Structure 1
Amino acid sequence: MAIEGLELAKACANAADNIQAEKIRVWDLRGLSNLTDFMIVCSGSSMPHLRAILRDIRGEVDEKYGAKPCNAEGNADTRWVVLDYIDVMVHVMHDELRDYYGLEDLWADAKEIDWKD
């Protein structure tokens, strides 16, 4: 079953929610960015939590939909990891880095998506 775009974004957000990722937000970047169509940002509060979020997003989305990220940048030790699914980019960040880098401000013009079913 192929999954992409909005459906994939919601699947990633739900997988993050299932492992208690914090402050999950999804934006529609179509028409605003050439990098991706949808961006998800979520937070974890510790290294083990970040590892668990990454493990569960990858595992759940692969298991349910057969979708794997084509690339991943960073690791839990860097406190910011990007999972690149082409149509969807998932940013898993430590709380402190998220506040510091302010991605919410960077994409303030983007439409926020209600990802909860």
Structure 2
Amino acid sequence: MDSKKLALLCRDLADNKKAENTAVLDVRKLSSVTDYFVIATGTSQPHLRAIAEEITSRLRDEHDLRPVRTEGSTTDAWMVLDYFDVIVHVMNTETRARYDLEGLWGDAAPVKPKKKTTRLKLKTTKTQRGKK
């Protein structure tokens, strides 16, 4: 899996656990350390743990990917999952505001989600095709 797909998958997995303000930054032109940052906010310690666990367990179980390194514990306000080409930052609101990674890496290009076709539209399209 290429690094952009991995970053987008990490964003989706964080969003599965209702992470807030999830952002993906393309830092390839700015850093030799990694290609993408995924930054997600959790509202409480259990929420931070749930987001990090969703990412690590699903990548391990479904894609045989494990972080090269992890930083932060289940009681910290900031957890880092290092997948080499993608570094995932899961932090609480105060920590995210204090360290302002988006501001620090302000020259990084944000990776915007593509518009997805909703299931309702897909069902409508299939129904319309069947009637023709």
Structure 1 partner of 2:108: 110
Structure 1 partner of 2:120: none
Residue 77 (structure 1) shift: 1.2
Structural mapping, 1:18-33, within 5 Å: 18-33=16-31
Q: Write the distance in 2 (CA, Å) between the matches of 1:85 and 1:66.
A: 12
AA aligned to 1:84 is D
Structure 2 partner of 1:12: 10
Given that 1:58 and 1:68 are in contact with CA atoms closer than 8 Å, whether structure 2 keeps it comes out as yes
Given that 1:14 and 1:115 are in contact with CA atoms closer than 8 Å, whether structure 2 keeps it comes out as no
Structure 2 partner of 1:75: 73
Q: Write the distance in 1 (CA, Å) between the matches of 2:9 and 2:59.
A: 7
The reply on whether 1:34 has 2:32 as its aligned counterpart is yes
What TM-score, normalized to structure 2?
0.83
Residue 76 (structure 1) shift: 2.9
Identity fraction in percent = 42
Q: Write the distance in 1 (CA, Å) between the matches of 2:20 and 2:73.
A: 18
Deviating beyond 3 angstroms after TM superposition, the runs of 4 or more aligned structure 1 residues are: none
Q: Write the distance in 1 (CA, Å) between the matches of 2:38 and 2:74.
A: 17
Name stretches of at least 5 consecutive residues in structure 2 with no aligned partner.
117-132
AA aligned to 1:95 is T
What is the aligned residue count?
115
Residue 59 (structure 1) shift: 1.0
Structure 1 partner of 2:94: 96
* Relative contact order higher in (CA < 8 Å, ≥ 6 apart): 1
AA aligned to 1:48 is P
Residue 92 (structure 1) shift: 0.3
Task: State the Cα RMSD in Å.
Answer: 1.1
> For the pair shown, which has the larger CA radius of gyration, 1 or 2?
2
Residue 66 (structure 1) shift: 1.3
Q: Write the distance in 2 (CA, Å) between the matches of 1:66 and 1:15.
A: 15
Encode CA deviations 1:13-67: one digit per residue, 9 max, x unaligned: 1100001011100011111011100000000010010010111011112222111
